[in-house]
């Protein structure tokens, strides 16, 4: 299709420009882009060059978000954690303007140090330096220490500190 490109761009408008070297996180669920950035620890304070498209038209979903990070290739570990909030994401590694690798995210069995437990009585939320650890279930996460299960509001647990 020459006229409709997959970013929701048409020949008349360019919504998010192409990057030279870095990572494009595509097919993120509409509205989750900022959570993707939080998971990756990107807040712009270190001068990262980042483009975000939110709720752009997509042919696979009605709407999608897209995140482009210049100058950084995400590791598989970083990518795996994204499944928690963006299970359908496609990760594109770009070098010299070309997509040289494309992979789908794979759900990890555990995530360590990414989410904080919502249970105030949990050993991971006290003063002791115990790193959080969650088992990843179908559509939910469970604290490995206190077994609190979170289903809907996983993005709210993302440790942005």
What residues line the site for Zn ion (CB under 5 A)? 117, 119, 122, 143, 145-146, 148
Contacts 24+ apart (CB under 8 A), 52-60: 52/16, 53/7, 53/8, 53/15, 53/16, 54/30, 55/30, 55/31, 56/7, 56/8, 56/15, 56/16, 57/8, 58/6, 58/8, 58/27, 59/4, 59/6, 60/27, 60/88
The correct pick among 7, 25, 82, 86 for binding ligand CTP (CB under 6 A) is 7
110 binds ligand CTP (CB under 6 A): no
Interface mask toward ligand CTP for 130-159; x: CB under 6 A:
------------------------------
Task: By CB under 6 A, tell whether 14 contacts ligand CTP.
Answer: no
How much is the CA Rg of the chain, to the nearest whole Å? Answer: 17
**Position 116 contacts ligand CTP (CB under 6 A):** no
Chain positions contacting ligand CTP, by CB under 6 A: 6-7, 18-19, 24, 26, 66, 68, 90, 92, 94, 97, 99, 102
């Amino acid at each position: 299709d020459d006229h409709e490109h997959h970013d929701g761009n048409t020949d008349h408008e360019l919504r998010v420009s192409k990057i030279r070297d870095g990572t494009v996180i595509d097919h993120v669920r509409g509205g989750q882009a900022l959570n993707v950035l939080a998971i990756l620890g990107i807040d712009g304070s270190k001068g990262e060059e980042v483009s975000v498209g939110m709720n752009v038209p997509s042919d696979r979903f009605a709407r999608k978000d897209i995140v482009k990070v210049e100058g950084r290739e995400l590791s598989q570990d970083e990518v795996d954690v994204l499944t928690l909030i963006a299970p359908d994401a496609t990760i594109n590694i770009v070098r010299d303007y070309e997509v040289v690798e494309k992979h789908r995210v794979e759900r990890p069995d555990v995530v360590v140090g990414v989410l904080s437990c919502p249970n105030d009585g949990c050993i991971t939320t006290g003063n002791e330096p115990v790193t959080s650890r969650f088992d990843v279930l179908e559509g939910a996460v469970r604290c490995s220490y206190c077994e609190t299960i979170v289903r809907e509001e996983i993005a709210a647990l993302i440790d942005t500190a």
